């Protein structure tokens, strides 16, 4: 169905957590999902060893020299492949983006994160130029405090959203203890409390991402 890369030029915006939450939500919805962990910290792989979610496979130790082979294998076996890319620009990231139908760019509403997001967008453009095929992408705001937004964060967010050329998901990943705890428990919010705000948050983000991918398929 689709290969999705989750990319950020810097650490800290919740890239791996976002990748895990979306992948788990899709698997719980019945999709066959593979996550390729290319990050040096291997946090997605560690989650995969703890998790018990039917349909979810997490492959660790994916490197520049084996990323294409792992992508071919995952795409043959799964309906959705999610690549958790390492922070920063790299040949590995360029290869994964080249093969992706969609690149999701997690970003906090802070100036350093937005600058990093613009670098990531530029790398997606490079991959698109190499492939000579459009690569869909979108920024997703992450670690947003529920019920509160500082003046600085609001200014940064509104400045970015004023640029109509930048695709941005309407749904954001909030800052929630339940999201941090997945790395400890190996369970996502939907497994613990399907009616929780955290579970609804993940469902909203995943539904919007699926909608955007479906629109790409319709336009093809």
* pLDDT of 51 strictly over 80: yes
Higher pLDDT, 114 or 37: 37
Q: How far apart are CA 168 and CA 159, in angstroms?
A: 12
DSSP, res 110: S
Q: What integer pLDDT is reported at residue 135 of this predicted model?
A: 94
> DSSP letters of 82-99?
EEEPPSS--HHHHHHHHH
Distance CA 70, CA 80 (A): 13
What's the confidence (pLDDT) of residue 165? 81
Q: Which two tokens stand for residue 114?
A: 């937005």
- More confident site: 37 or 146: 37
Residue showing tokens 């019945």: 30
Band the pLDDT of 39: cuts 50, 70, 90.
very high
CA dihedral 118, 75, 129, 103 (to 10 degrees): -20
Distance between CA atoms of 99 and 127, rounded to whole angstroms? 9
Instruction: Give the integer Cα–Cα distance in Å for 87 and 175.
Output: 20
Q: What pLDDT was estimated at residue 220?
A: 64
Q: What is the mean pLDDT of residues 200-204?
A: 98
Burial of 31 (C-beta count, 10 Å sphere; 0-12/13-18/19+): middle
pLDDT per position as a tens digit, 103-162:
999 998 888 888 999 999 999 999 999 888 899 999 999 998 877 677 777 777 788 888
Which pLDDT does position 216 carry in this prediction? 82
Q: What does DSSP assign to residue 145? A: P
Mean of the pLDDT values across residues 30-40? 97
CA dihedral 196, 201, 206, 207 (to 10 degrees): 90
**pLDDT tops 70 at residue 44:** yes
Q: Is the pLDDT of residue 28 over 80?
A: yes
Torsion-angle region of 61 (φ positive above 0: left; ψ -120 to 50: alpha; else: beta): left
Q: 24 pLDDT band (50/70/90 cuts)? A: very high
Domains of the chain: 2-219 (3.40.50.300)
Least confident among 9-13, 16-20, 33-37: 9-13
Higher pLDDT, 187 or 162: 187
User: Does residue 5 have a pLDDT over 90?
Assistant: yes
pLDDT given for residue 18 in this prediction: 97
Q: What would the mean pLDDT of 86-97 be, rounded to a whole number?
A: 89
Mean pLDDT value across residues 9-23: 92
Q: How confident is the model over 34-58, as a mean pLDDT? A: 97
Task: Share the mean pLDDT of the chain.
Answer: 92
Helix 111-131 / helix 151-161 crossing angle, nearest 10 deg: 20
């Amino acid at each position: 169905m689709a290969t999705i890369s989750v990319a950020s030029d810097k650490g800290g915006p919740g890239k791996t957590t976002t990748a895990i939450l979306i992948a788990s939500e899709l698997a719980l919805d019945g999709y066959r999902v593979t996550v390729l962990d290319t990050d040096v910290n291997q946090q997605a792989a560690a989650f995969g060893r703890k998790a018990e979610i039917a349909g979810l496979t997490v492959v660790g130790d994916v490197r520049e020299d084996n990323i294409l082979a792992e992508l071919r294998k995952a795409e043959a076996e799964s309906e959705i492949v999610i690549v958790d890319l390492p922070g920063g620009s790299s040949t590995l990231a360029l290869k994964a983006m080249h093969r992706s139908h969609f690149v999701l760019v997690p970003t906090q509403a802070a100036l350093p994160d937005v600058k990093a997001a613009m670098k990531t967008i530029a790398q997606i453009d490079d991959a698109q130029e190499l492939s000579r095929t459009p690569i869909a992408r979108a920024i997703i705001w992450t670690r947003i405090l529920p019920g509160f937004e500082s003046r600085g964060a609001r200014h940064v967010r509104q400045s970015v959203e004023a640029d109509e050329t930048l695709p941005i998901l309407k749904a954001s990943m909030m800052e929630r203890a339940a999201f941090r705890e997945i790395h400890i428990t190996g369970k996502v919010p939907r497994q613990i409390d399907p009616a929780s705000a955290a579970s609804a948050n993940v469902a909203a983000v995943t539904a919007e991402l699926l909608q955007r991918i479906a629109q790409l398929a319709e336009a093809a």
